[in-house]
Structures are given as structure tokens and as C-alpha cells.
Amino acid sequence: MKILAIETSCDETSVSIVGDKLKVLSNVISTQIPIHAKYNGVVPELASRAHIQNINMVIEEALEKANVTFDNFEKEIDYIACTYGPGLAGSLLVGIMAARTLAYIYNKPLIPVNHIEGHIFSACIENKVKPPFLSVVISGGHTELIIVKDYGEYVFLGGTRDDACGEAFDKVAKILGLPCPGGPVIDKLAVLGDINSVHFTRPMLKGGWDFSFSGIKTAVLNYSKKVDITDKKVINNICAGFRQAVSETIVFKAFEAVKKYKLKNIVLGGGVSANSLIRKMFLDNGKKYKVKVYLPSATFCTDNAAMIGTVACYKILKNKNKSAFKIILPKPSLELENW
Ligand code: KG4
Ligand code: ZN
């Protein structure tokens, strides 16, 4: 079985071919970071235009890397999968129309995939991990704790009440005059700073599973007005203090949740799971509390189509093709649903 999966929910155009036993035969990602960098954030109109420009090339490259051509496509590819939400409407539309066109031409079943489910299962591409587990989805748009009881069976514990953690990294970078996306830059500079130089309050540590990061972002803004942010040392110290506070908050809540719900596994996903301190803290705490921690490798942390093909594979196996549709529409505010 081979699945061609398409992901275009935000600013990465990605196509992957996923084969039997979740083997990723190709995973091509065309990033738009340089296009949006000068605007300090993703510009939806530019994102959809770039997807239109890139999608055909990315499909061709993904097919080529998996040794599939348009001549043997009908024989080689069994399903088309595509992200249908949440995300930017115009961006989703480009991937969906490409998927619908291929499904129509080659008469293949179309599998709609929720982008968040992609992040939930991205660490399962390279690790043998099965539900139940606690999923920690930390990305530019989400900060969520979800109990994955089984494939397609979720209990949502909590999410962000305001800024997602990746969004907070990006906004703090903007405040400090650092390039976008801010997460990787802050991660690098934080290593050079002193975590004891600036202390930011750990937001909402007790009571409920929700997160809130807008307060800490405002605290950085207020602090940055009182100090000289042209001084590299000052910037490094702010990055260190901020990264420490965000990381401790996420790790604390995740381990409280596994304790309360007696879970033995934690699976991370989303762009922020690339953060070096968050990875280290999860692994260290996992050892301390005897909880197995699964991390996606760097390519599978941020948006990619391999994670979409992986979820499609689970859907096909569980529903025995009953979930195959001919028409997918974009759902920008799609929530996690059981199937
Ligand atoms: O999962 P993703 O590619 O897109 C969404 O679905 O949102 O995540 C992008 C986010 C950005 O906010 C980016 O700053 C953040 O992930 N990010 C990081 C790191 N690498 C990417 N945040 C903290 N540390 C990193 N190393
Ligand atoms: Zn994402």
C-alpha cells in the first residue's frame, strides 16, 4: 500500500509518499520562511500564492524520490491523503484541490486528515509507540495536552487560552528584534544566556490543564523597555529566562497529567518540540518518573506531509476504507474529532 499525502495548512508545501509499515518513501518540504520573514509572521495571501507556485514541483519531487512516475501512478499509489484543517483557508485550499484533482484523475480514495492529528502521531513515524499515551502538541498555533486512548480516540485535557507557545516564541523574538520564526533563534541564543539573570513567572502552573503565554510575552515586553536590548548579553539572558519559564510550564503540566491519568508514555509533536531545552527536560523527567518519552526528529517536528500520510494509514487500517471521501473542503477551525 502506498499513500500520497499533501500538507499545505500554513507556510510549508509538503508532499510525502508513505508505504507499508509506515515507511516514509519520500517527504519533500518546501518552506516559505524567506517569503514571510520580512513581515515578521506568515502573510496568508502570500502563503497561498507560494503554495500554488510550489505544489506541482513538490508533488513531482516526492514521486520521483519514491520511484513513482505519472505513468505508473495508477498502479503504485493506492490513496491520496490531505490536510483539511485547522489552518489558513487559502493555503488549505491549494493542497485540497491538488489532492482532489489527483484523486479524480486516477480514481483513488481521498483521506481527509486533521493537521493536529499529524503532530500527535509524528513521533510514531520513527518510534514503535502505541496508544494509550499523553500527546503534547506544541506548535505555532497549538499548546495542547491530549490523552490518546486509541487511534482516533481522544480526550482533550487542555489547550492555550491565548497565545500558543510557538506564537509566544515568535512574538518575543519580534519584541527583541530577532528574525522570524523566533523559536529556533531564541533556542540558540538562550544557550549563551544566564537563566538566573531574569526571572519570568511560570504561568498557570496549578489548576486545570490550560495554558496561557500572553502574560509572559507582556512581561518580556515590559522588561525589554527597561534594559538595553542592543546589548547582546542582555538579549541572551532574556532568551534564557523566557525559554526556561515556557519549558518548565509545559513539562510541569505534562508530568502532572501523566501522574493523574496513570499514563506511561508521553509523545511530543509540533514545531516547538524541536526546542533543545524542552527535549532535554522531557527526557530527564521521563527518566526520573519512569515515563517513556517519544520525540519526533527535527524534520517531523515542524509541518510535513509524512505525518499526514501516517494518520491516513491509521485511518485506512481502522476504518477499512470507510473513511474515504471524494470531496474534501477546507475547515480552518477544525477541532480534534474521534473517528
Ligand atoms: O508545527 P509548526 O511547524 O507549525 C504549526 O503548526 O504552527 O510550528 C512552528 C512553530 C513556530 O512558532 C516556531 O517558532 C516554533 O514552531 N519552533 C520552535 C523551535 N523550532 C520551531 N520553538 C522553539 N524552539 C525551537 N527550536
Ligand atoms: Zn503544524
Does residue 45 contact residue 91 with C-beta atoms inside 8 Å?
Answer: no
Give the number of the ligand closest to the Cα of residue 7.
Answer: 2
- Measured CA to CA, the distance from residue 277 to residue 281 in angstroms comes to 6
Cβ < 5 A residues, ion ligand 2: 139, 303
CA of 182, closest atom in ligand 1: 14
User: So what's the pLDDT on residue 322?
Assistant: 55
DSSP assignment string, 291-333: -EEE---HHHHSS-SHHHHHHHHHHHHHHTTTT-BS-----TT
Minimum CA distance residue for ligand 1 atom 4: 140
Element (H, E) at 48: helix 44-65
The neighbour count for residue 248, using CB atoms within 10 Å, is: 16
Per DSSP, 10 falls in state: S
Minimum CA distance residue for ligand 1 atom 22: 183
Lateral strand order in the sheet of 79-85 = 24-31, 12-18, 3-7, 79-85, 110-114
Compute and round to an integer the Cα radius of gyration of the chain. 20
CA of 140, closest atom in ligand 1: 7
The neighbour count for residue 339, using CB atoms within 10 Å, is: 16
User: So what's the pLDDT on residue 189?
Assistant: 98
CA of 270, closest atom in ligand 1: 1
User: So what's the pLDDT on residue 203?
Assistant: 80
Lateral strand order in the sheet of 292-294 = 153-158, 143-150, 133-138, 265-269, 292-294
User: So what's the pLDDT on residue 102?
Assistant: 96
**Torsion angles phi and psi, residue 123, rounded to 5:** -75, -10
User: So what's the pLDDT on residue 326?
Assistant: 66
Q: Residues lining ligand 1, CB < 6 A?
A: 10, 139-141, 166, 169-170, 181-184, 187, 270-272, 274-275, 302-303
pLDDT mean for each 10 residues of the chain (339 residues): 97 96 96 88 94 98 97 96 97 97 94 97 95 97 96 96 95 94 96 96 84 95 96 97 97 97 98 98 98 97 97 87 70 95
Mutate to test the pocket of ligand 1, among 12, 88, 239, 272 (most ligand atoms within 8 A of CB): 272
User: So what's the pLDDT on residue 321?
Assistant: 58
User: So what's the pLDDT on residue 113?
Assistant: 96
**Torsion angles phi and psi, residue 148, rounded to 5:** -95, 100
User: So what's the pLDDT on residue 324?
Assistant: 56
- Measured CA to CA, the distance from residue 74 to residue 191 in angstroms comes to 50
Ligand 2 geometric centre to CA of 226 (Å) = 35
Ligand 2 geometric centre to CA of 116 (Å) = 7
- Measured CA to CA, the distance from residue 298 to residue 293 in angstroms comes to 15
| Alpha carbon 286 to its chain's center | 21
Amino acid letter, residue 195:
I
Minimum CA distance residue for ligand 1 atom 7: 140
Does residue 268 contact residue 121 with C-beta atoms inside 8 Å?
Answer: no
